[in-house]
Amino acid sequence: MTTGRNGKPLSSRRPLRMRRFLKFGAVGAFGVLVNLTVLALGREFLFAAVPSPGFRLNFSLGLAILAATVSNFAGNRSWTWLDRQHHHRGKPLLLQFGQYALACWLGIALQFVFTNVLGVYLHYLAANLLAIALASTVNYLVNDIWTFGRNAGANSP
């Protein structure tokens, strides 16, 4: 039987990883709601005085993306990776947020690339759904290892 660094069988960590991935997805789904809400409020009310519809949309979209990113970071930090919080006492919050934001941008770039590559072979919506799944998995892994990973030398499930 193969064991991890903590001596536990690797198969015993699969349920934790699956629960963590499902939490990551739930936080992301909530982030979509935050994004859409802030986008609508920004476009219809907050930036209503901006005369150009294009600028009004872009200002609202920027605010919506920022709000969703902050919301997702807070949700993932306080729920998805709650069991690892004590490992981050020495890491500044802004540094951890910066790592999270970079991981998000990596996911966005991968989704863009995967959609374009897969779109050659699949309907664009199917290509995009598959690209979202692939990019989300990479995003999860980057955050699991880099943003919310345990300190070097610590055991991690």
Q: Domain map of the chain by residue range?
A: 10-147
Give me the helix-helix angle, 124-142 and 14-41, nearest 10°: 120
Share of the chain above pLDDT 90, in %: 78
Note whether 151 and 87 are within 8 A (CB).
yes
Q: Which residues contact 113 (CB under 8 A, 6 or more apart)?
A: 131
Please report which confidence band the pLDDT of residue 153 belongs to, taking 50, 70 and 90 as the band edges.
Answer: very low
What's the whole-model pTM score?
0.83
Share of the chain above pLDDT 70, in %: 85
- How many CB atoms sit inside 10 A of residue 139's CB? 23
State the Cα–Cα distance between residues 104 and 24, nearest whole angstrom: 12
Note whether 72 and 28 are within 8 A (CB).
yes
Which tens digits make up the pLDDT trace of 78-102?
999 998 877 666 789 999 999 999 9
State the Cα–Cα distance between residues 53 and 129, nearest whole angstrom: 29
CB environment 47-76: b (16+ within 10 A), e (fewer): beebeeeeebeebbeebbbebbbebbbebb
For residue 157, what are the CA distances in angstroms to 32, 45, 58, 68? 28, 45, 41, 27
State the Cα–Cα distance between residues 19 and 21, nearest whole angstrom: 5
